[in-house]
C-alpha cells in the first residue's frame, strides 16, 4: 500500500477512537451531573417537608357531659341477674298407635336419635323423658340500700336459683337472691340479696312528667354485657301492647333494648328512673327501634305492695268487662258520648249484685267523670276490697246512680287468673311430700272443665325434680283422685298424701290444664321414692 494512504487510514482510526471516547466521557459526565442534580432536588424537597407543622392531640375535654354524668350516677345501682331453671322434657311418643307403640317402618324417624340424645329421650335422659338446665340473663335496679331490687317477673319466673352481680363485684362473684314477690299483671318482681354493706340506690322519678321527644337512657346487661348504656327518646306514652292486660300501659322508646336489658331502668335527664325496661317489638328477637318500659308510677305502686306483709298486689274490681279499644259505633248505637259501655257482667260479681247490666254506660265514679276504660280500671283497682263506690250510669238514655261494693280482683277472676296468679288465700300453700301445692277448685273452673261442683283440687305449683314433676303433673291440672280415693278439698289431699310412704305406687286421676269439655281424664302414676 502507498505509504501516504496507510498514514491516512491510521489517522482516521485514531480520530474515530478519540471521537468515541469523547462521546463516552460526555455521557458519563451527563449521568453523574443528573444524579447530583437529582440528589440536590430531593434534598431540597426533604428540607421543605421538615417545615410542616406536626399534628398534636388536644387535652381531653367534654363538650357535653350530661349523658356520662347520668351513666356514672346510675351504673352502680344497676345489677346483672343470672337465673337457672330446670325444664322437664316430657316423654315423646313415636308415631303409631295412641299408646305410643310403633306400627311399622314409618315410625323409624331419622331424627329420633338426635332428639333422644339431646333432649332426654331413650338415648339421653331415659324413656320417661328428662330435664335440661336453662340459664338466662336479665337486669335489675337496686331501689333500697338493704338489697331490694326491682326487675321483671319473666326474668326470675320459674327459676331454681337466682344470682346477682353488682357493678363493683370482682369477676366471678355472685350473690344469691330470693324472690320477695311478683306481679303477673305488670310483669314486675322484687328480689333481695343479703350483703354486709349499704348498696348504692337509684332515684325514682315521676313518669307522668315525661313527654314524647324527651331524652332517655336505658341501662342494663344486653346479651350479658354488664353496665351497657344506650340513648334515645320517648317515642310514645300509654302503649298497650298485650291484649287483656289492663295494667300494662308502657312508655315507648327508641333507646336500644335487647335480650338481657329486661328489668333494667329507663332514666330521664335528671338521672331518675322513670321506667323499667320490659319488652321489645321485633321480628328478630333483637333491637328494632321499638322498646317498652313500665312507667315508674306503676312500678312504685306495685313495689310498695310486694314488700308488704302479704307480698302480693291487691287490686279492686266490680266484675265488669268492656272493649279495650273505644269504638264510635258503640257510642252511637247506645246513645252515649263518653264513659265506658259494659259488654259483660261476671256472674256473682258485685256488679251483678248491684244490678248493672250489659249495655249500661258508666260515665262517672263518685261524681268524677270517667275518661275511658283505663281511667275506670285504674280508679277501681286502687280501692280496697269492701269499699263502696257510686257509679254514674246511663241506661236506655236515662241517668241513675248505682252503688257497688268493690271486690278483690284476684278472687273475682280466679277462673281466669288462677292459673297464673298466686293463691288468693292470704296464707301460702304448703308443699306436700309429693312436691306440689294445691288449692280448691272454683265454680268457674269446674264449669269450664265439666267437673261436678265441689270435686277435685287444682295444682297450684310443682317443685322441679319432685315426684309430682316426674309423673307429669303441671300447674293448673285438676286432681280428681289419688289411689282411687276422691280428692275434693285441700284437707282430703293433705290426709291422703300424709299416708303415702316411700316405695308405694301412687296413681293420680287428672283433668289436665287446658282440657275442654270433650277431653277426658288421664292417669299419671309412679312409685314414690
pLDDT in tens, 325-343: 667 777 777 777 788 888 8
Q: What is the pLDDT of residue 229?
A: 95
Give me the DSSP letters along 446-507: HHHTT--TT--EEEEEE-TTSHHHHHT--TT-EEEEETTEE--SHHHHHHHHHH--TT-EEE
Q: What is the pLDDT of residue 172?
A: 85
Which cell numbers in the block locate residue 527?
312409685
The Cα angle at residue 77 between residues 72 and 80, in degrees rounded to 5: 110
- Specify which residues 437 forms β-bridges with: 461
- Specify which residues 408 forms β-bridges with: 316
Higher per-residue confidence, 459 vs 97: 459
pLDDT exceeds cutoff 60 at 483: yes
pLDDT in tens, 232-250: 999 999 888 765 566 778 9
Q: What is the pLDDT of residue 114?
A: 32
Strands 265-267, 316-317: pairing kind: unpaired
| Separation of alpha carbons 116 and 335, rounded Å | 63
pLDDT exceeds cutoff 70 at 41: no
Q: What is the pLDDT of residue 247?
A: 75
Classify residue 68 as exposed, middle or buried by CB count within 10 Å of its CB (0-12, 13-18, 19+).
exposed
Higher per-residue confidence, 331 vs 204: 204
Dihedrals phi, psi of 479, to nearest 5 degrees:
-90, 120
| Separation of alpha carbons 264 and 5, rounded Å | 115
pLDDT exceeds cutoff 60 at 481: yes
Q: What is the pLDDT of residue 65?
A: 81
Cβ(472)–Cβ(512) below 8 Å: no
DSSP-derived letter for residue 254 is: -
| Separation of alpha carbons 99 and 164, rounded Å | 45
pLDDT in tens, 105-147: 334 443 333 333 333 334 344 444 455 667 788 999 999 999 9
Residue 364 DSSP SS3: strand
Cβ(238)–Cβ(213) below 8 Å: no
Q: Which of 7-21, 55-69, 73-87 has the lowest mean pLDDT?
A: 7-21
Which residues have a catalytic role annotated?
A: 154, 187, 262
- Spatial CA neighbour of 377 closest among 316, 313, 295: 316
Q: What is the mean pLDDT of the chain?
A: 79
Amino acid at each position: 500500500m502507498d505509504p501516504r494512504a496507510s498514514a491516512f487510514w491510521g489517522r482516521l482510526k485514531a480520530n474515530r477512537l478519540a471521537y468515541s471516547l469523547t462521546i463516552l466521557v460526555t455521557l458519563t459526565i451527563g449521568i453523574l451531573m443528573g444524579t447530583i442534580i437529582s440528589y440536590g432536588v430531593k434534598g431540597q424537597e426533604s428540607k421543605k417537608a421538615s417545615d410542616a407543622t406536626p399534628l398534636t392531640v388536644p387535652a381531653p375535654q367534654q363538650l357535653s357531659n350530661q349523658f356520662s354524668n347520668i351513666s356514672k350516677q346510675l351504673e352502680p345501682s344497676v345489677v346483672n341477674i343470672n337465673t337457672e331453671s330446670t325444664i322437664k322434657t316430657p316423654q315423646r311418643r313415636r308415631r303409631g298407635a295412641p299408646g305410643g307403640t310403633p306400627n311399622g317402618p314409618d315410625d323409624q324417624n331419622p331424627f329420633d336419635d338426635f332428639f333422644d340424645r339431646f333432649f332426654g329421650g331413650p338415648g339421653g335422659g331415659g324413656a320417661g323423658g328428662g330435664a335440661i338446665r336453662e340459664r338466662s340473663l336479665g337486669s335489675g335496679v337496686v331501689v333500697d340500700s338493704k338489697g331490694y331490687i326491682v326487675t321483671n317477673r319473666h326474668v326470675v319466673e320459674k327459676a331454681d336459683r337466682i344470682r346477682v352481680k353488682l357493678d363493683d363485684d370482682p369477676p366471678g362473684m355472685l350473690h344469691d337472691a330470693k324472690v320477695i314477690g311478683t306481679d303477673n299483671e305488670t310483669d314486675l318482681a322484687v328480689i333481695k340479696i343479703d350483703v354486709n354493706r349499704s348498696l348504692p340506690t337509684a332515684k325514682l322519678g315521676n313518669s307522668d312528667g315525661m313527654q314524647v321527644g324527651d331524652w332517655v337512657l336505658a341501662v342494663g346487661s344486653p346479651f350479658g354485657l354488664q353496665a351497657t348504656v344506650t340513648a334515645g327518646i320517648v317515642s310514645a306514652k300509654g302503649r298497650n301492647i298485650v291484649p287483656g292486660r289492663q295494667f300494662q300501659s308502657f312508655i315507648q322508646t327508641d333507646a336500644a333494648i335487647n335480650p338481657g336489658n329486661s328489668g333494667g331502668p329507663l332514666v330521664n335527664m335528671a338521672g331518675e328512673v322513670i321506667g323499667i325496661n320490659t319488652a321489645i317489638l321485633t321480628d328478630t328477637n333483637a333491637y328494632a327501634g321499638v322498646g317498652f318500659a313500665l312507667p315508674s308510677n306503676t312500678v312504685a305502686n306495685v313495689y310498695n305492695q310486694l314488700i308488704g306483709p302479704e307480698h302480693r298486689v291487691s287490686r279492686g274490681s266490680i266484675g265488669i268487662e268492656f272493649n279495650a279499644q273505644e269504638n264510635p259505633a258503640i257510642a252511637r248505637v247506645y246513645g252515649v258520648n263518653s264513659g265506658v259501655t259494659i259488654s259483660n257482667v261476671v256472674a256473682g260479681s258485685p256488679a251483678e249484685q248491684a244490678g248493672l247490666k250489659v249495655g249500661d254506660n258508666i260515665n262517672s265514679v263518685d261524681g268524677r267523670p270517667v275518661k275511658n276504660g283505663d281511667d275506670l280500671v285504674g280508679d277501681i283497682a286502687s280501692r280496697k276490697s269492701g269499699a263502696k263506690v257510686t257509679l254514674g250510669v246511663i241506661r236506655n238514655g236515662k241517668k241513675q246512680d248505682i252503688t257497688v261494693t268493690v271486690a278483690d280482683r284476684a278472687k273475682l277472676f280466679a277462673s281466669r287468673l288462677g292459673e297464673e296468679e298466686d293463691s288468693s288465700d292470704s296464707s301460702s300453700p304448703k308443699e306436700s311430700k309429693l312436691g306440689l301445692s294445691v288449692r280448691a277448685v272454683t265454680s268457674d273452673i269446674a264449669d269450664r272443665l265439666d267437673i261436678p261442683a265441689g270435686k277435685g283440687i287444682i295444682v297450684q305449683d310443682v317443685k322441679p325434680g319432685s315426684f309430682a314433676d316426674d309423673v307429669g303433673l303441671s300447674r293448673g291440672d285438676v286432681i280428681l283422685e289419688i289411689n282411687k280415693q276422691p280428692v275434693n278439698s285441700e284437707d282430703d289431699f293433705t290426709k291422703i298424701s300424709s299416708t303415702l310412704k316411700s316405695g308405694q305406687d301412687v296413681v293420680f286421676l287428672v283433668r289436665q290444664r287446658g282440657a275442654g269439655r270433650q277431653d277426658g281424664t288421664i292417669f299419671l302414676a309412679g312409685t314414690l321414692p
